[in-house]
Amino acid sequence: GENVEQHPSTLSVQEGDSAVIKCTYSDSASNYFPWYKQELGKRPQLIIDIRSNVGEKKDQRIAVTLNKTAKHFSLHITETQPEDSAVYFCAASIWGSTLGRLYFGRGTQLTVWP
Amino acid sequence: DAGVTQSPTHLIKTRGQQVTLRCSPISGHKSVSWYQQVLGQGPQFIFQYYEKEERGRGNFPDRFSARQFPNYSSELNVNALLLGDSALYLCASSPGLAGQETQYFGPGTRLLVL
């Protein structure tokens, strides 16, 4: 099955700096890569996703890049704010399948210091 | 628009007991997936149901079972609880097949097995 590796496990940045979280996946059939943000005690919330027919997607301060050849994708957060502090999970799946099972990374605890 | 709801929010059980967790999907959503999130790790896929039929099962023992009702709500049952079953159990819903739609997570049920 699919194996998703996520790095780093913890990341501390100063407010206003950029943060980058990287993930790799093993199954070349995976073509859908969502990112979820989970604040302490709350549900995982989808913040951005990308499909393999595009290499980059942006939504205001967040962006995701995908390198399908190398089987890795990254989350970029610019101008970080204290409210960006949370655990971020990457995931991989096969869009278009009947199952849609999400394979998650182990998460990155992002702390943004004011 | 109400999101995915789960009950109870917290639960304490002892080893050997049985537990039933409940999930109500977003109105109009027909697919429900269950995930187990052990502390410090990403969610792991347990089951997916669509139109009241099991569409997929993760690598979990037969002690775990689930069902989906005509109103698309779902129950997850775990028998003969082990200490290792302590986790946050997340439910996710999507309008159609999970492999073809974005999945939205509920707040989870935190299960502690003593």
B108 phi/psi in degrees, rounded to 5: 90, 160
Confidence of residue B104 (pLDDT cuts 50, 70, 90): very high
> Are B63 and B78 a contacting pair, CB within 8 Å?
yes
Strands B74-78, A56-59: pairing kind: unpaired
Residue of B nearest to A6 (CA): B42
Taking CB atoms within 8 Å and a gap of at least 24, the contacts of B28-31 are: B28/B95, B29/B72, B29/B93, B29/B94, B29/B95, B29/B104, B30/B72, B30/B94, B30/B95, B30/B96, B31/A100, B31/B55, B31/B93, B31/B94, B31/B95, B31/B96, B31/B97, B31/B98, B31/B101
- CB contacts, 8 Å: B49 with chain A: none
Q: Identify which has the larger pLDDT, B22 or A100.
A: B22
Q: Residue B97 has what pLDDT?
A: 73
- CB contacts, 8 Å: B35 with chain A: 102
- CB contacts, 8 Å: A45 with chain B: 105
For residue A9, is pLDDT > 90?
yes
Contact assignment for B90 to A102 by CB distance below 8 Å: no
Q: Kindly list the residues of chain B whose beta carbon comes within 8 Å of any beta carbon in chain A.
A: 3-4, 31, 33, 35, 40-45, 48, 50, 55-56, 58, 90, 92, 94, 97-108
User: Could you give the percent of chain B with pLDDT greater than 70?
Assistant: 96
Q: Give the number of beta-carbon pairs within 8 Å between A and B.
A: 77
For residue B72, is pLDDT > 80?
yes
State the average pLDDT over residues B67-82: 97
Residue of A nearest to B6 (CA): A43
Q: Which of A4, A95, A106 faces B100 most closely, judged by CB atoms?
A: A95
Contact assignment for B42 to A98 by CB distance below 8 Å: no
Confidence of residue A98 (pLDDT cuts 50, 70, 90): low
Q: Residue B98 has what pLDDT?
A: 65
Residue of B nearest to A43 (CA): B107
